Chains A and B, each alone.
Chain A
Amino acid sequence: MLRAGCQVLTQTALPAGKTGGNSFALEFVRWRRKPRWLPVAKSKVFRVPERKKQTEEERTELMRLHNQYKTQLRSVRQYLREEVVRHEETSTADHIVLTPEQEEAEFQKCLDLNAAWNARIAKEREARLAKEREEKVAYVQERLEAKQLREEERREQANQRVLREIELSKTYITRENLDAAIEAALANPVDHNFAIDLDGNLYRGRNTSQLTEASPNPNPEPNQQALSN
């Protein structure tokens, strides 16, 4: 674990260290024993990792095999490259070759189709717009009638109020008939000193009028009553 970690630490200078093909034997370290900025441990400073043993015979054999493999792979690659080129030339997967007449016909067909669609949609749209217009006209008419009705009602009410005021104005006390009104009030005194029960019956409770008594010799008692009332 530590050895693999050390390799990772020392190899970080090379960007290809992780992604390169020679990282096959590298152990995948998910969790490191120490942070990467720490130096190599004192006990491991002079440790030299052991190389894998490889005999001369094996080495030459591998060399031969590798040379052979590289040659074979090169020819396979060339074959595949030619195959790809051939395929691209012959296939019509992503580029369909058409003559100018065919292209023109195709374009004309698309244009006609588009025009037909547009015409159909325009018809539908006109019908819809006409219907909407009619609805709007009817709505406005209705609102106008309602407004007229409302106005008439309002005018009627105002007329009635004016008439009532005119009717009432006949009994108003003005500067001209002020003296007559005063005389009439003095001539007809009203006595408000009475009791009312829940049924609305009046109880006058006094045979003599207090007003006529009070005017010749006023005493404190009726004043207090008036105040309390």
Chain B
Amino acid sequence: MPLSPASGIGRFYAKSAKIIRFVRLGCTNRPFYHIVVMERRKNQHQPVIEQVGSYDPLPNDSNERLVALNTERIRHWLGKGAHLSTPAAELLGIAGLLPIHPRTYMSAWRNRRAAAEAEASAEKAESNS
């Protein structure tokens, strides 16, 4: 699948539902996402209307997960009434453009709880031995 340009060659109707979402690129076991605006009903690998950012979910050498956002265009498209997919909403919430998504809170408290449980079990194993 050839890469469509970031300026976008996707055709769209003026009043169709647009959505800001991820397109999974990369390959097996190596995800990489483009954050794009496209028609909601289309498959993710169709040509996009516009690419507004990129997201690399795997931490690099400095333990960073890199995100690039074209906030100006995201604001424009949101103002035009574009929808948001949940992962994109989470990412934009963490980026500070939108309010924090509830799912972020949920995964945070679940992670905290799992960490606490793991610690407790480790302590218990230590005290037993």
Contacts and interface: CB of A to CB of B under 8 A. Distances in A.
Interface of A: 15, 18-19, 21-22, 24, 28, 58, 62, 65-66, 68-69, 72-73, 76-77, 80-85, 87
B98 A21 contact: no
Interface string B83-97: 111110000000000
B75 A21 contact: no
Interface residues of B, number: 24
Nearest to A75: B99
B86 A83 contact: no
A80 B78 contact: yes
B85 A69 contact: no
Contacts of B30: none
Interface string B11-28: 000000000000010000
Contacts of A58: 106
21 contacts: A15-B41, A18-B43, A21-B83, A21-B84, A21-B85, A21-B86, A24-B85, A24-B86, A24-B87, A58-B106, A72-B98, A73-B98, A76-B98, A77-B79, A81-B80, A81-B81, A82-B79, A84-B75, A84-B76, A84-B79, A84-B80
Contact of B102 (A18, A19, A69, A84): A69
Contacts of A28: 24
Contacts, number: 55
A85 B87 CA distance: 27
Contacts of A82: 79
A149 B75 CA distance: 87
Contacts of B79: 77, 80-85
Classify the secondary structure of A's interface with B.
helix
Contacts of A73: 98-99
A78 B81 CA distance: 9
Contacts of B40: 19
Given A80-B79, A84-B76, A19 B41 contact: yes
B17 to A, nearest CB: 10
A18 B21 CA distance: 13
Nearest to B99: A72
Contacts of B85: 21, 24
A35 to B, nearest CB: 21
Contacts of B80: 81, 84
B75 A65 contact: no
B1 to A, nearest CB: 13
A69 B99 contact: yes
Contacts of A62: 102, 106
